[in-house]
Amino acid sequence: MLTDDITQELRRRGAVDTIRAGIAQAPALGKGLGLTFGLALLGAAGRVTIPIAIQQAIDKGFVDGGVRLDFITRLCGVAALVVLLAALCQRTAVYRLGTSAEEGLYGLRVRLFDHIHRLSLADQNEERRGALVARVTSDIETLTMFFAWGGLAWMLDLSLMFVVACVMMAYDWVLAVVAFAVVAPLIIVLRLVQSRLVRAYDRVREGNAAMLSSISETVAGVETLQAYDAVEPALQRVEAATEKRARSSIRAGFIGALLFPSGEVFSVFTVVAVVGIGVWRGDAAGLTAGSLVGFMFLTYRFLEPIAEFTEVIDQTQTAVAGLRRVLGILDTPIGPPPATNPVPLPVGRLGVALHDVTFAYAPRDDEPATNVLTSLTLTIPPGQHIALVGESGAGKTTVARLVARLADPTKGRITIGAVNVKHVANDDLRRRLTVVPQEPFLFADTIAYNLRFAKPTATDAELATAVRSLELDDWVASLADGLETKVGQRGASLAAGERQMVALLRASLVNPDVLILDEATSSVDALTEVRLARALRKLSAGRTTISIAHRLSTAARADRVVLLADGRILEDGSHDILMANGGEYRRMYDAWLTATRA
Amino acid sequence: MISETLPTATAENRFIRAKNLMAAMVGFHRGLFLIAVSGAAVFAVATVLSSYGVKLLIDEVILPSFAEGTVGFSMWASVSGLVVTIGLVRAVGVVVRRTYAGKANSSTAKSIADKALRHIMRQPPMWHRSRMTGDVAARAGVDTDAAAAILGPMPFASSVIVLLAVSGVWLIVTDLWLGLFAFLVFPLMLATNILYQRKVDYHYQVAQDELGALSEAAHESFDGVLVVKAFGAEERETERLAVISRRLRKARTKAITLRSTFESVIDAAPSLVNIAIIAFGAVRVRDGGMTVGELSAFVFLFTLVSLPLRIVSYLFSELPHSASGWARVQQVLQEPLLSAPRDAINRTTSTTVLPSGAAAVHMVELRDVRAEHVPGVAALDHVNLRVERGRTVAIVGATGCGKTTLLHVIAGLVPVSRGDLSVGTSRVGLVFQEAFLFAESLRYNLTLGAPVSEAVIADALRIASADGFVSELGVSLDTELGERGVSLSGGQRQRLALARALAVGSELLLLDDTTSALDPGTEAEVLNNLRTLGASVTTLVVASRPSTIALADSVIFMADGAIAAAGPHDELLRSNADYRTLIQAFEHDRQTTTPTGAR
């Protein structure tokens, strides 16, 4: 079908473009590729040596019923030398392809790491995180596998077919044309079946993913399933998934099995045709017995790679798809660009101001861009503690992110110490401003390691001072290994409240002038609550502080409350004034008070 | 954690492990495997015959025609027919071998996966709690695949024996010396293959470990993106990952160096042997010991035989991976099934006559119950409790006092290590602290596969106050939830989990802080809806909001794994100082926010 052809054409062009773009991103992949292929061609010469040697032996060695041993000896000596030299060339070609692939893929990985770390937070949300890890591991891995097997096969096999075809033409072009003509239908068969094979493999992958997620979900949900006596139906669902996977892989295996010997089958027909026509044309056409035998051997060789091709086609497509996804990440624009001519932040306490700020996330897929913040102006004098309140989605987190320059406003500007944050060097900004996120993230190491993440040069004494200044000594003393206590994966060995304490300590090491606190929502026990409140008070004392308050008690303690609704400031003033005004804040506060009262 | 210590691999027990693995894998679908092996045997015999065809083409067709100038068409036709037939038979052998090896592989993987998962899912929660979910799931998934993967190369590898035997006999019959020469070379090539594979597998293993480390580190680094950015540590983190990537590259490069040398040697070796055959054969042809056709056929045969030799080395390379996969599967299969605590629960009810003269039916009754998560350490002890049918009871206590354990004991997830437990129904709906939703349709999530009418489902959604957001989100019963489907907030998930408990007709609801993720208004609504169910549903609810606690008929106050006091909320507030303190801590927020004036 015509439309089918067009799609095919587009897809193919897409593949070539993808590979070109890939080489542009990882130049080591393309470097010296020409020489590598040249060596592979020379290496292939080793594999036509035997047919040529047999032809020579038959035509010149076994003459008139006798055998010229001296000639045979010389012939074998030369042949052995050619084989050895060719092997050396092939070794170099394989080595070069492999090492440049590793070099290129290493470069690609590091580029990806760098790029992903610089992506704006909007492109880094939780749903996409698993996908990002997949890009740097399994997708790059499909490329590694490709270079280790498929890519190598393409290089060696194409070189072999090319060299064999050349030698065949040199022996007898008529026979060569006959051979190619008999092989032609194979190309059609391959093309027909290959697309089925690729689809079949796609289904195997889908079935495999469905099976694995079904298994892990069932295991993860074991308590629920047992509590509801629903294990049996769940097992039946998994068994349906394992059955589907087995069926799809058996089917793909069958198509592959049919395709695999196609090269051999065609070579049998080609050989008998070549021999038939060869003896029919005979001496008259300048053919010799030896060259016909040699030709026969070459024909077998010519079709040898077909079996391997049928196996690497799927892998090649997988690799191109993997590369496409990797490039997709590299094409995603990074977050706030670094300042070109950085302006240093002034010494001393810093105020924060938002001037007519509008923010909208970039439109994604079919979702249109909607404003998260609209023309927001807010001035926070140095040392003031403000609380941002409002329903979820009101824009509190966005304000915090923009001030921390984790994203740039769509319109308007943000100043810290009267300097536009866009003009502040990242290092400078991070030394003066710190964020304590809602769910503090800890690395799987010790508490000390996590504290030093904020300041790699911090001495033990500095850490101890920080602990003391936030009055967390008793907590640290209660830990088995003090600051050397391991926190486990993502801090799982610590309680939620303890993770927050580490986060506060970590922020205090930076000794920032501006502090942004995203209040935790998880409930903690009363003692921890008291400790945290005390540490927070200590930490924020004297610093310009922006708290995203989920608990209105936090708002009540702040110097000033800013109530956001739909990306605009609805009310702004101290807790007492807003309460006296009897507006929306008053309503929220009263509702909250009722709910928490017995 | 399941022990990772597999037996150390000495040469002898490596052999035994390989033998056991292969025997076990073949045993699952013996018939399929035997068909695959037969296909491989046909292929092997046809391979040797095909080189005999080459001899016939040379000796009977090509040489005579050039020597005499003419050749009979019938001779060409009959030899060609033979060659084509052999070629087709060989191809059929390949198709049968590959198809059935694939069938045996896939079917075995399925059989093991089903068996392992069935066993795993019959283990009670305490078995699961002492293990990592991901690790357990891997044993039913990727490990079973690894174990069965050995069935892929096995039929082909076994045909190598046939191939070597048949071609060896032919070689020796035709020419004793050439035959002996070949027999010397075959094992040598086989040994080279296996030796290489073992060396290169070491580097691949190192690379695999580094890849695992990289994936873990990348996951962590991307998860912590906010912290990384907040402290301007982007470059430090990229460098940390680059260091691991460099180790990965190093291991891979070592493997490539080894491999490039081996590939060239293994490609050149048959050619060199063939050159030797030509040289050696020429002498034999001169002596009349063999024909030119036979000589060429041997050259041809040698090329064909070198490929299957490589398959044997793939088999050897696959062995350790498959064997360790199988060992990991066996570890879970061989663990005895622990008894399910559910089965030990007494399903009868006792009745007491109240002072008013009415009879009270006790839905739940615990007498001096002790429960342990870690042997010897009581999570609950000396718990005595009676809950009347149709009542709503709040369980209140500080973090870690045993509230959740109490619910899990009643639900039959945690065993009772001493005392008696009676629960008057087997229709117990436990709603976990963290709602577990499956990435399946809404219907499956509400019914877990049980036959439940739409009307009952609608009712359950209404009582759980989930009907509103379900219709707002435009979710139908067949909409998929989770990853690929609709994503829900914590409160919405909780309400669906509650709706599930109602939809399956639970008579006893155990709510573990279920409503805490809801806003206070919705929480009150849900609890009031539950009260409308009257005597048909008994509810135990772990609660921490004073407003919630006040809604319960009575309160159980727990401390340190025991019931410290029980009674109506107001009464406990009056009579129990600890209870008062705890409730005050819950109200902490409210108290600290009482406007203090001068701000």
**SS3 letters across A156-193:** HHHHHHHHHHHHHHHHCHHHHHHHHHHHHHHHHHHHHH
Residue B435: predicted pLDDT? 82
Q: What amino acid is encoded at B50 in this protein?
A: S
Cβ of A87 within 8 Å of Cβ of B265? The answer is yes
Q: How far is B137 from chain A (nearest CA, A)?
A: 5
Contact at CB, A253 and B98, closer than 8 angstroms: yes
B421 min Cα distance to partner chain A (Å): 16
3-state secondary structure of A573: strand
Residues B370-412 have pLDDT tens digits of: 998 878 888 899 999 999 988 889 999 887 788 889 999 999 8
Name the residue in chain B with its Cα closest to that of A272. Answer: B80
Tell me the chain A residues in contact with residue B214 when contact means C-beta distances shorter than 8 Å: 136-137
pLDDT for res B517: 67
Which residues of chain B are within 8 Å of residue A523 when distances are taken between CB atoms?
516, 544
Out of B134, B590, B597, whose CB is closest to A596?
B590
Nearest CB among A46, A553, A557 relative to B271 is that of A46
Residue B551 near residue B524 (C-beta atoms within 8 A): yes
Instruction: Look up the pTM and report it.
Output: 0.80
Binned at pLDDT 50, 70 and 90, residue A364 comes out as low
pLDDT band at A460 (very low <50, low <70, confident <90, very high): very high
What is the nearest CA distance from A73 to chain B, expressed in angstroms? 6
User: What value does the CA radius of gyration of chain A take, rounded to a whole number of Å?
Assistant: 36
Query: Mean pLDDT, to the nearest integer, of A129-140?
Result: 81
pLDDT digits (tens, 9 = 90+) for A492-513: 788 888 899 999 999 999 999 9
Q: CA-CA distance, B501 to B503, in Å (whole number)?
A: 6
**Token pair 């739409």 in the structure block, residue:** B454
Q: In this complex, do B62 and A275 lie within 8 Å of one another by their Cβ atoms?
A: yes
Say if the Cβ atoms of A435 and B226 lie within 8 Å: yes
Q: Which of A78, A117, A126, A129 to probe by mutation at the B interface, max B CB count within 10 Å? A: A117
The domain segmentation of chain A, as residue ranges, is: 25-171+320-334, 173-286, 352-361+369-596
Task: Verify whether the Cβ–Cβ distance B137 to A220 is below 8 Å.
Answer: yes
Is beta strand B392-397 parallel, antiparallel or unpaired with respect to B554-559? Answer: parallel
Chain B residue at shortest CA distance from A442: B224
- Name the residue of chain B whose CA is nearest to A83's CA: B268
- CB of A347 within 8 Å of any CB in chain B? no
The answer to whether residues A516 and A436 touch, using CB atoms and an 8 Å cutoff, is: yes
Distance CA B152, CA B36 (A): 10
Residue A558: closest CA among chain B residues belongs to which residue?
B599
List Cα–Cα distances, A223 to A231, A312, B413, B414, in angstroms: 9, 44, 7, 10
Tracing tokens 């036509």 back to the chain, one arrives at A48
Tell me which CATH code domain B22-175+318-338 carries. Answer: 1.20.1560.10
Q: Which of B565, B149, B242 is nearest to A107 (CA)?
A: B242
Instruction: Give tens-digit pLDDT for B311-324.
Output: 777 787 788 888 88
Backbone torsion region of residue B430, taken as left when φ is above 0, otherwise alpha when ψ lies between -120 and 50, otherwise beta = beta
pLDDT for B3: 40
CA B73/CA B80 separation, integer angstroms: 10
| Per-residue pLDDT band at A523 (split at 50, 70, 90) | low
Bridge partners of B418? B370
Interface of A with B in 560-589 (CB under 8 A): 574-576, 579
Determine the residue of chain A that is closest to B284 in CA distance. Answer: A67
C-alpha dist (Å) from residue B85 to A109, A199, A268, A562, B358: 52, 32, 9, 88, 94
Determine whether the interchain pair A490/B223 forms a contact, defined as Cβ–Cβ distance below 8 Å: yes
Q: Which residues contact B433 (CB under 8 A, 6 or more apart)?
A: B404, B512, B513, B514
- Per-residue pLDDT tens over the stretch A444-458: 899 999 999 999 999
- Nearest-Cα residue of chain A relative to residue B152: A253
Q: Which of B103, B278, B448 sits opposite A228 (nearest CB)?
A: B448
Output the CA–CA distances (angstroms, integers) from residue A23 to A29, A93, A100, in the order listed: 6, 19, 11
Question: For tokens 């993230």, what's the residue?
Answer: A441
pLDDT, one tens digit per residue, over A301-333 is: 898 888 888 888 878 888 888 898 889 888 888
Residue B528 CB coordination number (10 Å): 12
pLDDT tens for chain B, 599 residues: list them: 344 444 445 667 778 888 899 999 999 999 999 999 999 999 999 999 999 999 999 988 888 888 877 767 888 999 999 999 999 999 999 999 999 999 999 999 999 999 999 999 999 888 888 888 888 888 998 899 999 999 988 998 888 888 888 888 888 888 888 778 877 887 888 888 888 888 888 888 888 888 888 888 888 888 888 888 888 888 999 999 999 999 999 999 999 999 899 888 888 888 898 899 899 888 888 888 888 888 888 888 888 887 777 777 778 778 888 888 899 899 999 999 888 888 888 888 888 777 777 778 889 999 999 998 878 888 899 999 999 988 889 999 887 788 889 999 999 888 899 999 999 888 899 998 778 888 888 899 999 988 899 999 999 999 998 888 888 777 788 888 765 556 677 778 888 999 999 998 889 999 988 776 677 677 778 888 888 887 788 999 988 778 778 888 899 999 888 999 999 998 998 998 888 888 877 765 444 433 333 32
DSSP single-letter state for residue A486? B
Contact criterion met (CB below 8 Å) for A296 and A274: yes
Question: Could you give the C-alpha distances from B210 to A196, A384, A516, in angstroms and in order?
Answer: 36, 49, 37
**Distance (Å) from the C-alpha of residue B353 to the closest C-alpha of chain A?**
32
> What CATH architecture is A25-171+320-334?
Up-down Bundle (1.20)
Tracing tokens 């129990």 back to the chain, one arrives at: B576
Using a CB–CB cutoff of 8 Å, tell me whether A285 touches chain B. Answer: no
pLDDT tens-digit profile of A554-574?
A: 888 899 999 998 889 999 999
Helix (H, G, I), strand (E, B), or coil: what is residue B10? coil
Cα-atom radius of gyration of chain B, to the nearest Å?
A: 37
How many pairs of residues across A and B have Cβ atoms under 8 Å apart?
436
Output the average pLDDT for chain A: 87
**A492: number of Cβ within 10 Å:** 11
**Residues of chain A numbered 462-491 and touching chain B (CB < 8 Å):** 490
Is residue A222 within 8 angstroms of chain B, CB to CB? yes
CB contact (8 A) between residue A227 and residue B585: no
Is the CB of B128 less than 8 angstroms away from the CB of A223?
yes
Considering only CB atoms, A57 lies closest to which of B101, B282, B593, namely B282
Note whether A25-171+320-334 and A352-361+369-596 share their fold: no
Q: How far is A56 from chain B (nearest CA, A)?
A: 11
Q: Which helix (H) or strand (E) holds B323?
A: helix B292-334
- Cβ-nearest to A289 among B62, B221, B235: B62
* Nearest chain B residue (CA) to A88: B264
In the CATH hierarchy, which fold is given to the domain comprising B350-589?
Rossmann fold (3.40.50)
Pick among B221, B271, B423, B430 to test the A interface (most A CBs inside 10 A)? B271
Q: How far is B260 from chain A (nearest CA, A)?
A: 5
Predicted complex: ipTM over 0.95: no
Is A215 in contact with B137 (Cβ distance < 8 A)? yes
CB A92, CB B257: distance < 8 Å: no
**SS3 of B200, please?**
helix
Nearest CA in chain B to A153: B263
Q: Which helix (H) or strand (E) holds A23?
A: helix A2-25
Among the listed residues A82, A267, A198, A40, the one whose alpha carbon sits nearest the alpha carbon of residue B54: A267
User: What was the pLDDT predicted at B324?
Assistant: 86
Q: Where are the domains of chain B?
A: 22-175+318-338, 176-289, 350-589
- Nearest-angstrom CA–CA distance, B453 and B458: 9
Interface-testing mutation among B61, B123, B131, B223, with chain A (most A C-beta atoms within 10 A): B223
Q: Which residues of A222-240 are buried (b: 16+ CB within 10 A; e: fewer)?
A: bbbbbbbbbbeebbebbbe
CATH number of A352-361+369-596: 3.40.50.300
Instruction: Give me the residue from B99, B232, B439 closest to A257, CB to CB.
Output: B99
Report CA B527 to chain centroid distance, whole Å: 39
Interatomic CA distance for residues B266 and A338, integer angstroms: 54
